[in-house]
């Protein structure tokens, strides 16, 4: 049951990240004016939005790949989760130094902080799952 929940969550996280990345690549201006709070972070920059769109496309692919390729799950989800965590921490830093107001934290939570938390939890589950399904080492023969 937990396995199905984790794989399903990874697939949803992957599809969401990939969809966001595609939106950023295909229509950066529409993405900029549609996503709440983005317009308060600085002027529109098509190149920058597309660069980040490529990252989200990669993250989405990594979560999906980890869901279907158990041997690569820890690396795919772990690396993606590190980026997501850095991204979330950067948003908190912006609030801490006054670039954004405290209202940015709850506004950004669903799209920034929650994916980082979910990615970390999925990665820890993948590590535990890999340990529980691996074969114990052979005992030495005397």
Examine residue 9 and state whether it is found in any structural domain, yes or no: yes
Examine residue 124 and state whether it is found in any structural domain, yes or no: yes
pLDDT of 141 strictly over 60: no
pLDDT averaged over every residue in the chain: 94
Q: Is the pTM of this model over 0.95?
A: no
pLDDT of 140 strictly over 60: no
Express each pLDDT in 38-65 by its tens digit: 998 889 999 999 999 999 999 999 999 9
- Give mean pLDDT, residues 91-101: 95
Length of the chain: 142
Examine residue 137 and state whether it is found in any structural domain, yes or no: no
Supply the DSSP string of the chain, one letter for each residue: -HHHHHHHHHHHHHHHHHHHHHHHHH-HHHHHHHSTTGGGGSS--HHHHHHHHHHHHHHHHHHHHHHH-GGGHHHHHHHHHHHHHHHHHHHHHHHHTTSS-TTHHHHHIIIIIHHHHHHHHHHHHHHHHHHHHSPPPPPPP-
Examine residue 138 and state whether it is found in any structural domain, yes or no: no
Examine residue 108 and state whether it is found in any structural domain, yes or no: yes
Examine residue 44 and state whether it is found in any structural domain, yes or no: yes
Number of domains in the chain: 1
Examine residue 20 and state whether it is found in any structural domain, yes or no: yes
Domain hosting residue 19, numbered range: 2-132
Examine residue 140 and state whether it is found in any structural domain, yes or no: no
């Amino acid at each position: 049951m937990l396995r199905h929940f984790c794989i399903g969550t990874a697939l949803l996280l992957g599809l969401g990240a990939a969809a966001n990345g595609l939106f950023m690549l295909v229509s950066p201006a529409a993405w900029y004016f549609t996503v709440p709070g983005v317009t308060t972070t600085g002027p529109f920059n098509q190149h920058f939005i597309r660069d980040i769109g490529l990252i989200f496309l990669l993250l989405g692919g990594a979560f999906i790949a980890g869901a279907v390729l158990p041997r690569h799950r820890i690396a795919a989800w772990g690396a993606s989760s590190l980026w997501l965590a850095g991204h979330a921490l950067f948003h908190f830093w912006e609030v801490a130094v006054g670039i954004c107001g405290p209202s940015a934290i709850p506004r950004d939570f669903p799209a920034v902080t929650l994916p980082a938390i979910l990615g970390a939890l999925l990665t820890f589950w993948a590590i535990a799952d890999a340990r529980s399904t691996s074969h114990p080492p052979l005992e030495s023969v005397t």
